[in-house]
């Protein structure tokens, strides 16, 4: 009996190798040497970001590691009709950390498909539009236009707009989900504190479990906690303070840009 399944099928290659090949060892190094004629690159996952931030030689070692890992489940080992196919390439590629990256995605040689991002502020809903749009602008200048100096000037301009009050408050609204009752949170968070504050003001319109709570961070004393400065955007027209975390995020992107 043969079943043809369209789409992707998860296959544990380790189990396939153990079933079809009787080897004295099933470590990646042994399997690599047995089927590819050479040992795999010994790169621990904690070294990936460091090698990527290094120089041409360290990135070449990282590329060899990725290539060999992709070659290990060679098409010949798969039972028909399963085949190993090329999917995509990222170039240039910025790796900020585990599951946090951005790059130009290519599936063909003539032009890139799109600027793809994962796990960073451009795709996270719990960041304000100002942060998302600014970082998207930085990524476009660094990755698409390859203009690192231009990205620096762009960030300076955005920060100047923020400091001089030329950013609409709607761009500075952050939203986070209220996943449980306020009393059940172990730590204090801005959206939780605001939900409690709104409940004291008017219980009928206060956020409930499952709602997303919009808030802005008001300007306060430097010793104030962030959660103490959260306020309902509809209740204030006060100038919102510069978030230190945003500045650090933008700086990190620009530093990575210098590596291209």
CA distance 3 to 200: 61
| Residue range 50-69, pLDDT digits in tens | 888 888 888 888 888 887 77
**pLDDT tops 90 at residue 237:** no
Looking up residue 219, the CATH number of its domain turns out to be: 1.10.132.60
- Domain ranges, residue 34: 13-79
Residue range 208-218: mean pLDDT, rounded: 92
Shared-domain flag, residues 212 and 113: no
- Answer whether 230's CB lies under 8 Å from 193's CB: yes
Shared-domain flag, residues 61 and 183: no
| Residue 94: CB atoms within 10 Å | 22
| Residue range 13-29, pLDDT digits in tens | 778 778 888 888 887 77
Shared-domain flag, residues 191 and 224: yes
Q: For residue 16, what pLDDT is reported? A: 77
Shared-domain flag, residues 231 and 249: no
Shared-domain flag, residues 118 and 209: no
| Residue range 172-209, pLDDT digits in tens | 899 999 999 999 999 999 999 999 999 999 999 999 99
In a domain, 85, yes or no: no
Shared-domain flag, residues 250 and 132: yes
User: What's the whole-number average pLDDT of the chain?
Assistant: 81
> Quick check: pTM over 0.75?
no
**How do strand 230-231 and strand 174-177 relate by DSSP bridges?**
unpaired
In a domain, 70, yes or no: yes
User: How many structural domains are present in the chain?
Assistant: 3
In a domain, 7, yes or no: no
The pLDDT confidence band at residue 34, using thresholds 50, 70 and 90, is confident
Counting beta carbons within 10 angstroms of the beta carbon of residue 40, is it exposed (0 to 12), middle (13 to 18) or buried (19 or more)? buried
Shared-domain flag, residues 108 and 138: yes
């Amino acid at each position: 009996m043969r079943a043809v399944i369209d789409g992707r099928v998860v296959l544990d290659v380790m189990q396939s190798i153990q079933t079809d090949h009787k080897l004295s060892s099933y470590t990646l190094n042994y399997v690599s040497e047995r089927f590819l004629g050479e040992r795999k690159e010994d790169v621990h996952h904690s070294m990936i970001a460091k090698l990527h931030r290094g120089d041409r030689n360290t990135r070449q070692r990282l590329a060899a590691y990725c290539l060999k890992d992709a070659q290990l489940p060679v098409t010949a080992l798969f039972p028909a009709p399963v085949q190993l196919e090329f999917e995509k390439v990222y170039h240039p590629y910025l790796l900020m950390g585990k599951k946090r990256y951005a790059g130009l995605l290519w599936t063909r040689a003539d032009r890139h498909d799109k600027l793809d991002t994962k796990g960073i502020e451009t795709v996270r809903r719990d960041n304000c539009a100002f942060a998302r749009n600014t970082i998207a602008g930085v990524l476009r200048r660094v990755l698409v236009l390859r203009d690192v100096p231009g990205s620096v000037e762009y960030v300076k301009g955005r920060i100047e707009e923020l400091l001089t009050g030329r950013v609409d408050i709607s761009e500075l609204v952050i939203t986070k989900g209220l996943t449980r009752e306020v009393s059940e949170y172990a730590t204090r968070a801005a959206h939780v504190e605001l939900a409690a504050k709104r409940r004291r003001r008017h219980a009928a319109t206060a956020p409930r479990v499952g709602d997303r709570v919009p808030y802005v961070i008001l300007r306060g004393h430097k010793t104030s906690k962030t959660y103490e400065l959260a306020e309902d955007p509809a209740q204030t027209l006060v100038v919102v303070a510069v978030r230190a975390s945003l500045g650090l995020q933008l700086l990190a992107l620009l530093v990575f840009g210098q590596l291209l």
